[in-house]
Amino acid sequence: MIKIQNKWIRAAIPALLLHCSIGTVYCWSLVSESIVSYFVEGGVNVSKSTIEWAFSLAIFFLGMSAAFLGPFVERDIHKASLISAICFSVGMAGTGFFIYNRSVIGVFLSYGVIMGIGLGTGYLSPVKTLMLWFSDQKGLATGLSIAGFGLAKVIASPIMEFLQDRFGIVAMFYILAVIYFIMMFVGHILLAKPQGWVEPKESSGESVISILKNKTFIGIWIMFYINITCGLALISQEKSIVSAIGLSAFAGIISSITAVFNAGGRLGLSTLGDKLKDRNTVYKLIFIASILVTALTMVTSGISNSIVFLVIPLLFVVNAGYGGGFSNVPALLSDHFGMKSISRIHGLCLSAWAFAGLTGNQIATLIVNHTGSFVDDGAGHSINPTGYQNVLYFTLTLYIIALLVCFFVVPKSNKDKAK
C-alpha cells in the first residue's frame, strides 16, 4: 500500500488518469461512421442513427450508474475505481469484438452498458476525494479532474484516427482497451482520501426523497440537463457539421481544438467559480454566451460563407460551456447541500446526464434526418445544411429556458455551507 500523503499524487494525478481514459467516449463522432461502414461492407445493413444508440446508452448508463452507485462510491472509492477500470476496458475490447462479428446488439451491450457503467463509477470516484484534498479550492479541484475528461478528446482524437488508418476500427478498440486499463489501474492504485478522514457511519445529510423534492436541486438538475442536451446535440454531430461547411479535411484538427475548449472550460470556469460569491453566476455566463453565439450563427447563416467562420466559434463556445457546466456542478451542490453525502447528491444530479444521453444526440439526429434536404458535398458524403440549422433552433430554445431557471429557480449559493 502506497503511504505517500500528497494531494497531487493521491488525488489530482489519479483523477486525471481516470478521466483522461473514460473521456474518450466523446470521440464517438470519429468512430461512428467507420463502425457503420464496417457493418455495411460485411453485408449488415445498419444506419448511422441506429448505431448512435451505442453512444446514447453509454451516456445513459454513465448517469444512472453514478446515481445508483453514489453511496457505494462514498464508502469505498478504491473498489469503485477498480470496477471502473475493469468495466471500461472490457467494454472497449468487447466493442471491437462485436464490431468484428457485426453484432449491433453486442456493440450496444459492450459500448453502451458495460463501458457506461465504467464511465459512471470512474467519473464519480475522484470527485469527492479531490474536494477533500482541496477543501479551499473545490472548483479548481473538480476542474482539474473533470478537465481530464475533456482533455481526453484532444489526446485521443489524432491517436484514434492514426490507429483506424493503420490497423482498422476493430484493432483500434483492442489497442485502446489495453492502454486505458493500464492508465486506469495506476489511477486506482494511487487514489486515496486524506489520511484521517473517516466517512460518517450514520446516514447523514438529506434523504434521497427530500433531495429530489428540493426546489434548488430540481433547478440545478434542469439547467444541468439542458446544458448537456444542447452540448451533446452539437458534439455528436460535430464531424458532420464540419463536413457540411466544407472543412471535412480538418475534422480531426477541429475535434482536438474543440476538446481544448471543453477542457479549458472545465478548468477555467470552475476556477472562476471559486472567486465568485455566487457560483451560479458561472451558469448564467455559460447560457448567455451560448445564446448569443447560437443566435448570431443562425441570423448570419444566409450571408455568403459567413457560416464557415461562425460555426467553428459556436462549437468552441458550446464545448467550453458544456465542460464548465460539468466541473461546476459538484462545488455548486456542496455550496447548497454541504459535503455530507456529496457523492450521493452528485450522483443523483448526474442522472440528468443519463437522460440527456438519451435525448441530446438522438433529437439532433432526428432533426437532421427529417428536416431539410440532403445534398452531396462532392466527397461522396450526403449532408443536410438546413437540418443542422434546425438543430440550432432547438438548442437556442433550450438555452433560453436554462437561463430563466438560473435567474428564477436556483438561489444564490452559500459557500460557508460547503465547509
Question: Tell me, what's the pLDDT at 201?
Answer: 58
**Residue 26 neighbours by CB distance under 10 Å:** 28
Q: Distance between CA 253 and CA 153 in Å, rounded?
A: 11
CA distances from 382 to 218, 254, 368 (A): 41, 20, 11
As a whole number of angstroms, the distance between CA 184 and CA 123 comes to 11
Decide which of 35 and 374 is more confident.
35
- 3-class SS shares of the chain: helix, strand, coil, % to 5: 80, 0, 20
pLDDT digit string, tens, across residues 219-252 = 999 999 999 999 888 877 776 777 766 666 666 6
Q: Which amino acid is at 250?
A: F
Query: Out of 76-90, 246-260, 287-301, which region has the weakest mean confidence (pLDDT)?
Result: 246-260
Of 73-77, 174-178, 279-283, 394-398, which range is least confident?
A: 73-77
Average pLDDT over residues 271-281: 86
CA nearest to 231, candidates 325, 115, 330: 325
pLDDT tier, 307 (very low <50, low <70, confident <90, very high otherwise): low
- pLDDT of 141 higher than 90: no
Instruction: Return the beta strands (E) in 198-287 as ranges.
Output: none
pLDDT band with cut points at 50, 70 and 90 for residue 304: very low
Grid cell digits, residue 328: 461546476
Contact 372, 244 (CB under 8 A): no
At residue 82, the pLDDT reads: 95
- Domain locations in the chain? 8-192+207-418
- List pLDDT tens digits, range 14-37: 988 999 999 898 788 789 989 999
Residue 387 has pLDDT above 70, yes or no: yes
pLDDT of residue 380: 52
pLDDT band per the 50, 70, 90 thresholds, residue 142: confident
pLDDT of res. 383:
64
DSSP summary character for residue 10: I
- 101-110, 206-215, 365-374, 375-384: lowest mean pLDDT where? 375-384
Best CA proximity match to 23, nearest among 319, 253, 279: 319
Amino acid at 311: V
Q: Return mean pLDDT, the chain.
A: 84
Res 306: pLDDT: 47
What is the CATH number that goes with domain 8-192+207-418?
A: 1.20.1250.20
Percentage of residues in the chain having pLDDT higher than 70: 85
Cα distances from 26 to residues 48, 103, 154, 259, 262, in angstroms, run: 16, 22, 10, 9, 11
State residue 379's pLDDT score: 54
Tell me the whole-structure pTM to 2 decimals. Answer: 0.77
